[in-house]
Amino acid sequence: MSFHGLAKVVGALVAAVWATALFVAYMVVALRGTSVDTSDGARVCDPRQPDEEQCPEGNWCVHGECTPREEPQVAQRGEQCRDCPCDVGLQCGADLRCRPRNEPEPPAPTCGDPAVEAAVARLTQACLQRRHSVQDQVENGQGCSADEWRALLADDEQMNTLLAAFPDRLAVFFPSGEPRARQPWPDALTRAHMVGELARHAEALSKAKMLFVLGRASPDGNPADDYALALRRINAVERLIDVALGREKPSERGAGPMLIGSGAPSDRPIALEAFVRNYAGTQTPIATSRAESERLAAAFAAIRAGEPVPGRRSLERDVNRMVLVIPVPCAGTKEE
């Protein structure tokens, strides 16, 4: 074979190798985030990818498999509507209970309301009786179980009172899986942004008698891992609040508000409309970047206006990756 013929053969082989490599790369990109059917018919998925790209309509990615979404129960007259819609002809009142549309509703509770005092006192005492702090649980895996936290937050009237009485609460949103166990988070740029956003609320945070810090995790992993993730998020927000208030370490919290952290199990996700209506509060969402905060704020505004929002299923997962901070300004509620 002549030199030119050999060169042509080698060139063809090289071209074939490159074509194969490009095809494989294309398939990897094309299939990224796409679910795979297993032998038992379940569709495996990646919770870090948008649900719309992996799971069929009416499903979302739960613990690594596409799982049908359960429709929220419909609340009847007098029942709590914090996490579910009211039945036809009823509306969700300021006290987060369903009532007829033409029936006058009671005003939202305030600090002077005995119900507010009772709710704050009960939750404060329940948290003070814990043997371990959130930091201890994050580092050692000890402390209250998920069932104990569920019992702490299960009283609808107590939680309704807190959410209705303190609309200036803050919602801090996290990326999927963050923060990871025993790994630093966030990076310096993200940390500076989030501290700056919290510092805008420094007056309300510092003047509060206590701060309820309620963490959540969407069902991305197994329930135990999701719960541990919710606790790490609480710990991360508490540390960011410390920096925003000029406290370099948790031991300096004595002169400021009491921090009461609580994690919600991932088997109780919040529906999107319920989150916007009853949890989001009046403040701009705090996320890892300004662009992400603006995206969430625009989506929540569209939902309040009854307009459609793109990426709805992924957005519903986003609202379950957050920590809710409730500053309680009521006098006489801080325990010594």
In the numeric block, the tokens 């008698």 are attached to 209
| Closest CA relative to residue 92, chosen from 160, 153, 166 | 160
How far is the C-alpha of 214 from the C-alpha of 262, rounded, in Å?
A: 5
Average predicted confidence (pLDDT) for the chain: 76
Query: Which sign does the torsion angle of CA 62, 227, 156, 298 carry?
Result: negative
Domain 109-328 has what CATH class?
A: alpha beta
N- to C-terminal Cα distance for the chain?
93
Q: Is the pLDDT of residue 279 over 80?
A: yes
Which residues, 6+ apart, have CB-to-CB distance to 215 below 8 Å? 230, 231, 233, 234, 237, 261, 262, 263, 264, 323, 324
Token output for 185: 């988070």
Chain region(s) in the chain for CATH 3.30.1330.60: 109-328
pLDDT in tens, 77-107: 988 888 788 899 998 888 888 999 888 877 8
Q: Is the pLDDT of residue 133 over 60?
A: no
Give the type of residue at 274.
Answer: A
How far is the C-alpha of 267 from the C-alpha of 290, rounded, in Å?
A: 30
Which residues, 6+ apart, have CB-to-CB distance to 104 below 8 Å? none
pLDDT in tens, 184-237: 899 999 999 999 999 999 999 988 877 888 877 777 667 777 778 888 888 899
Query: What are the phi and psi torsion angles at 167 (to 5°)?
Result: -75, -10
How far is the C-alpha of 135 from the C-alpha of 140, rounded, in Å?
A: 8
How far is the C-alpha of 239 from the C-alpha of 247, rounded, in Å?
A: 9
From residue 47, alpha-carbon distances to 35, 40, 64, 314, 324 in Å are: 10, 20, 7, 9, 22
User: Residue 144's pLDDT is what?
Assistant: 47
From residue 40, alpha-carbon distances to 37, 65, 231, 316 in Å are: 8, 11, 34, 27
Contact 325, 213 (CB under 8 A): yes
SS3 assignment, position 1: coil
Token output for 47: 């919770």
pTM: 0.74
How far is the C-alpha of 141 from the C-alpha of 139, rounded, in Å?
A: 6
User: Residue 335's pLDDT is what?
Assistant: 39
| Closest CA relative to residue 273, chosen from 102, 74, 45, 105 | 74
| Closest CA relative to residue 334, chosen from 254, 222, 276 | 254
Longest dimension (CA), the chain: 98
Token output for 279: 């949890």
Higher pLDDT, 235 or 10: 235
User: Residue 147's pLDDT is what?
Assistant: 54
User: Residue 34's pLDDT is what?
Assistant: 45
- Tell me the average pLDDT across 55-59: 84
User: Residue 328's pLDDT is what?
Assistant: 84
Higher pLDDT, 328 or 136: 328
